[in-house]
Every structure is written in structure tokens, then in C-alpha cells.
Amino acid sequence: MTQITDFVAWSKRVGGRFHGYTDEILPGEYSDDTQLALCTARCTTDQGHFDAVRFAELEFPSWLDYARGAGRTVKKAAQAIQRKKATWSSNFFQQTVRGHRVDCRDSGANGAAMRVAPIALVNPGWNTQAEKDIWANAIISHGHPRAIWGALLYGYALSALLTVSNSLEPLTFVEKLASFVKSLSIPNDEPIRVWQNIWNEERGPRKTFCEVFEDTREEAIERLRRVYKAVRDHSPIISALTDLGCFSRATKGSGLGTVAAGIYLFAIAPNEVEQAIVNAVNAIGSDTDSIAAFAGGLAGCLNGVEAIPTRWRKGIQDGSYLMHIGERLAAIADRRPIIPLNPDEHREAEIAKGPNPQFQANERVYHGALGYGRVQTVDRQMTPRDKEVVLVRVIFDRGQSAKFAIRDLDKSPLWIPAQDRLL
């Protein structure tokens, strides 16, 4: 089978049996992993702290407007956080999965780990601020320690790599990660204690959060043992990923499993950014995009942006904006003057809502989280129930682009600012 080594166009049906449409993905376009990492980056203050309130009240719920390829749990969490009584430290919810009610306390997927890189990048070498911020980010959407451990492990790995000044010894690096897992404790932080108390409510005879957290610590250590063994023994890639649970339906999206897989693919070729990503992308049947994001993030963190193939940097969606975000995070980490994230951000909350746009190419629109933008393309499709879906691609002034699937024009997340309409 020929390996995929470059961006390709493809399409997928989304929206379900009766309300579905075809989403055309262009070469180099990114999905929810990158979208949510950008949301986190925009919630990173100039002082390097994660603004959990902004994330929970603005970025996370607004992300649903343009989410692409997102998992069930993280979407449900973004819906649940919009309840009047929900806060970032109390976003507990349930969902129905294959006819069964599933509590968020049992949600251990990788939707938290995939978005925490900005927190790690502004805290080279790790510190208590990074630890507390990753906890805060993770518990907004996921309740099982497996998701939290995955986010913490990936964040620590990135932060540790920022301080590597010479060649990396892969097995020593894996041992360092295992030592981190063994030493970590639950932060003595008031919001996290409140969240933990709520977590323990109505659990009956089931284990407490602390007990599940300790069980999951042992699971994380065992995963890293398997990574160490696979790297040491030069195991075939598919065999190693299978051993980590990457192809099992029950564990393929695990926060711990996918992060461990990313660490493994990085560790077998720490100076080969392209190879780490290609190996992940071609592990068909696993959670390829998240594992590739973890492996590529680690390799890129160690080797720098110049190690990423030029053809990928030129072909990626919103390449200039991604560079701008990276440069801002680097400035925060180095305590240098901060590159403004969005010069007009202070005005966004004051903009009066005007009428819905007509959705024509070049039309100026506004989105509550992404700001001003211009419509690039419009595609209209009919669902099997003969309802129109308007697919609108917008390029925003700040540099990010997004695609919106609008089924009800009266409830469109895009609108024309009133002052623009009156000019």
C-alpha cells in the first residue's frame, strides 16, 4: 500500500442520515485538534496564564459554530457549558451513546490533550502554573482521569523538550516522562477541589476520583513501559501501536493511549518531523489525526519550524496565522514584548448585531469569537429531508479561516455588524 506523504483532497458525509451533507476537505485543511488548540492559544494571556473563563464562556461554545471532525464528547461538553449554572469548574453532563447513558466522569478520550499545547509552550521546563492550567483546561470537557493524565503527559513532554539543548536520548526521555507520572499529585487549588467534590457526588459505591486517578496513574506508567520496550526492541510500528490499544474500538481514542502512541512515534525518530507524522497518518484504523498531532507536536517542539517540510508549511490552511500564534506564544515564554493577537479585539464586545448576511462571495460578516471576516465561498446542498444546508467558508481578518454549515438562516452565527450596514 502506498503511503500518504502529502496533503490530499477528500470528502466525507456529516450530519447524520436525515440531515447530512457532503463536506469537501481541501488539501492542507485542519480539523478540531488545531481549531481547539487555537481557541486555547487565544485564551492564553500575555502573562502566560490560561483564561478558563474566556475559554468556557466564549471560545469553546462558539467553536461549535465551525467545528470540523469533532468527537462526540467534546461537542457535548461545548453544548453543556452553555447552561446557565455551568461554569468551567462544574461542567458535568451526560450523553447517550449507542442507547446507553454515559456520564462525563467516564469520558477519557483525547479531546483535552489535543488542545493543551499552547499552555505548555508558554511554560518551558514545566511549573505549577502549567500544571494548574492544563487541569483547568481539561476538566471543562472531560471527567475521567485518563483524559486528564493524557493532557498532563503531553503538556509535560512538550514543556520538557523546550529545554533540551543537545541531542535527545529517546529511552532516557521516556524514563523522564515516567518519573513525572510517578511524582504528580492533584493540585491543591480551590476550583479543582470544588470540581473534585462534585465529581464524587452521587457515585454510590463506585470509586472516588482520587482512587480512579491513582488507578489511571498505574495505567499511564504501564503505557510508558510499553513505549520504552517498543523503542528499545525496535518493534514494528503497527505491532507497537496495537499493543498501545490504538486499533481497538474501545481504546483507540483514549487520552492516554493516543498520547502514548504520539510519544512512541516521536521517540523512534526524534529528529525526523516528517517521518513521525507520516508514520501516524498511515496507521489507518487508529485515531490518525490526533496521534499525528501529538507526534508532530513533539518533533516540531524539539527541532523547530524549519524541520517541517516546506511543502507542508506552504500548503497548510491558515499558515500565516499559525505562525503568528506560534510567535506570540514564544514571546510570552521568553518574556519578550507580546505580538498583539487581534488589534480590534477590545471593540468586538461592543459591536451591535445587524441583519443576517445574504451569503454571497466577498460579503463582510462578523462572528462573536473570530471577529470580522469576508465570505470566500458559498455552497448550497439539500439534505435527504429536502432541507437546505448553506456551507459558508469565511476568511477572518485575524488570519483564521473557518467553514460554517448553516441549516437555519435565522439562527446563523454569522451576521453583519450594524455600523457596517449603516455606512
- For residues 398 and 325, membership in a common domain is answered with no
pTM of the model: 0.95
- For residues 290 and 365, membership in a common domain is answered with no
Average pLDDT of span 140-161: 97
Q: What is the pLDDT of residue 346?
A: 43
The upper half-sphere exposure of residue 408, i.e. CA atoms within 13 Å in the direction of its Cβ, equals 3
Q: 46 lies in a domain?
A: yes
pLDDT exceeds 60 at position 227? yes
- For residues 290 and 398, membership in a common domain is answered with no
Which of 285, 303, 333 corresponds to the end of one domain?
A: 333
- For residues 291 and 177, membership in a common domain is answered with yes
**pLDDT tens across 240-252, in order?**
999 999 999 889 9
Of the given ranges (63-72, 87-96, 221-230, 336-345), which has the lowest mean pLDDT?
Answer: 336-345
**pLDDT tens across 281-340, in order?**
999 999 999 999 999 999 999 999 999 999 999 999 999 999 999 999 999 999 998 877
**pLDDT tens across 347-362, in order?**
554 577 888 899 999 9
Q: 124 lies in a domain?
A: yes
Q: What is the DSSP annotation of 151-188?
A: HHHHHHHHHHHTT--S---HHHHHHHHHHHHHH-----
Q: Which of 29, 3, 1 is nearest to 275 (CA)?
A: 3
CB atoms near residue 204 (< 10 Å): 4
At residue 263 the predicted structure's pLDDT band, cuts being 50, 70 and 90, is very high
Q: 84 lies in a domain?
A: yes
- For residues 181 and 264, membership in a common domain is answered with yes
What is the C-alpha to C-alpha distance for residues 146 and 254, in angstroms, rounded to an integer? 7
- For residues 292 and 414, membership in a common domain is answered with no
Of the given ranges (69-73, 145-149, 163-167, 404-408), which has the lowest mean pLDDT?
Answer: 163-167
pLDDT exceeds 50 at position 422? no
**What percent helix, strand, coil does the chain show, rounded to 5?**
50, 15, 40
The upper half-sphere exposure of residue 239, i.e. CA atoms within 13 Å in the direction of its Cβ, equals 7
What is the C-alpha to C-alpha distance for residues 259 and 113, in angstroms, rounded to an integer? 8
In the chain, how many domains are there? 2
% of the chain surpassing 90 pLDDT: 84
- For residues 183 and 321, membership in a common domain is answered with yes
Q: 415 lies in a domain?
A: yes
Q: What is the pLDDT of residue 344?
A: 53
At residue 204 the predicted structure's pLDDT band, cuts being 50, 70 and 90, is low
CATH number at residue 364: 2.40.10.170
- For residues 359 and 261, membership in a common domain is answered with no
- Domain that residue 361 falls in: 351-422
What is the C-alpha to C-alpha distance for residues 174 and 164, in angstroms, rounded to an integer? 14
- For residues 266 and 381, membership in a common domain is answered with no
Q: 10 lies in a domain?
A: no
Q: 196 lies in a domain?
A: yes
- For residues 272 and 415, membership in a common domain is answered with no
Which of 333, 360, 384 corresponds to the end of one domain?
A: 333
Which of 304, 333, 362 corresponds to the end of one domain?
A: 333
What is the C-alpha to C-alpha distance for residues 108 and 208, in angstroms, rounded to an integer? 16
- For residues 409 and 326, membership in a common domain is answered with no
Q: 345 lies in a domain?
A: no
CATH number at residue 213: 1.10.4080.10
Q: 74 lies in a domain?
A: yes
- For residues 84 and 140, membership in a common domain is answered with yes
At residue 59 the predicted structure's pLDDT band, cuts being 50, 70 and 90, is very high
